[in-house]
């Protein structure tokens, strides 16, 4: 009887060489280099996959930090289509997204709440001819947030935000103004609680 010889073929394991950068807010582009990074490989920060992932076999993967991921230090995990995985613990620090000064923008905005109050409509002029229109269902709004920030050089910025589950949307902002009563009226009209942001002046 001839001996039976079994040969096991396996796919080489992926590896991680570099992760650049190692910190940043949601939207930051991350480039992971290594070996055996095949087409279909995914990269996760904690449990969330990088957005807009692009794989350039065999040694490069690029993607963006997903929106809505909480701030903190997370593991980076690489998983191939065959289920092989390699991880690097505490490899990336997700930082809080920096919001632009709402009173520093020169863009024009127009907000409208229909009588039914079932939606909030916001028009934002990107250019003189281009308008970005968005609608936020009232059911998705968790609270109306009022924020008044004192500026280091003097003066203040008052802003009203609509807080949703994943982010907040600017409703109105004015320099050196008090929008507290307006924020309360909006909250009452939408049937939502009014919250004061941490930076609100006492």
Q: What is the CATH number of the domain that holds 34?
A: 2.60.40.10
Q: Answer for the pair 132, 123: CB distance below 8 angstroms, yes or no.
A: yes
Do residue 118 and residue 90 come from a single domain? Answer: no
**Among 31-35, 139-143, 169-173, where is mean pLDDT lowest?**
169-173
Do residue 29 and residue 82 come from a single domain? Answer: yes
| pLDDT of res. 151 | 80
Show the domain range for 46. 15-94
Last residue of a domain, one of 69, 94, 119: 94
For residue 5, pLDDT beyond 80: no
For residue 38, pLDDT beyond 50: yes
Burial of 166 (0-12, 13-18, 19+ CB in 10 A): exposed
Q: Is residue 185 part of a domain?
A: yes
Looking at the structure of the chain, the number of domains it has is 2
Structure tokens at 34: 């290594």
Mean predicted confidence (pLDDT) in 60-84:
93
Do residue 123 and residue 82 come from a single domain? Answer: no
Exposure string over 58-93, b if 16+ CB within 10 A, otherwise e: eeebbbebbeebeeeebebbbbbeeebebeeeebbe
End-to-end C-alpha distance for the chain, whole angstroms:
91
Mean predicted confidence (pLDDT) in 170-197:
93
Do residue 23 and residue 90 come from a single domain? Answer: yes
For residue 56, pLDDT beyond 80: yes
CATH number at residue 117: 2.30.29
Do residue 121 and residue 186 come from a single domain? Answer: yes
Do residue 65 and residue 116 come from a single domain? Answer: no
CA 196, 102, 153 angle in degrees (round to 5)?
A: 90
Compute the distance between CA of residue 47 and CA of residue 96 in angstroms, rounded to an integer: 18
Q: What percentage of the chain has pLDDT greater than the value 90?
A: 61
What is the maximum span of the chain, computed from C-alpha positions, in angstroms?
94
Q: Is residue 127 part of a domain?
A: yes
Q: Answer for the pair 119, 169: CB distance below 8 angstroms, yes or no.
A: no
Please give the model's pTM, rounded to 2 decimal places.
Answer: 0.54
Q: What is the pLDDT of residues 124-154, one digit of tens each?
A: 887 778 888 889 999 999 999 999 988 877 8
Do residue 133 and residue 59 come from a single domain? Answer: no
Last residue of a domain, one of 94, 122, 145: 94
Q: Is residue 9 part of a domain?
A: no
């Amino acid at each position: 009887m001839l001996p039976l010889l079994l040969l096991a073929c396996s796919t080489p394991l992926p590896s991680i060489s570099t992760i650049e950068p190692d910190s940043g807010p949601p939207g930051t582009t991350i480039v992971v280099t290594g070996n055996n990074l095949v087409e279909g490989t995914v990269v996760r920060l904690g449990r969330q996959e990088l957005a807009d992932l692009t794989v350039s076999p065999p040694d490069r993967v690029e993607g963006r930090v997903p929106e809505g991921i909480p701030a903190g230090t997370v593991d980076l995990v690489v998983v191939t289509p065959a289920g092989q995985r390699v991880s690097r613990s505490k490899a990336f620090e997700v930082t809080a997204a920096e919001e632009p000064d709402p009173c520093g923008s020169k863009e024009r905005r127009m907000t409208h709440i229909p009588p039914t109050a079932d939606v909030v409509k916001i028009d934002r002029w990107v250019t003189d001819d281009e308008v970005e229109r968005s609608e936020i269902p009232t059911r998705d709004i968790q609270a109306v947030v009022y924020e008044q920030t004192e500026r280091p050089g003097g003066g203040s910025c008052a802003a009203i935000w609509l807080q949703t589950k994943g982010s907040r949307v600017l409703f109105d902002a004015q320099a050196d103004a008090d929008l507290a009563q307006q924020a309360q009226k909006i909250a009452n009209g939408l049937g939502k609680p009014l919250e004061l942001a941490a930076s609100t002046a006492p």
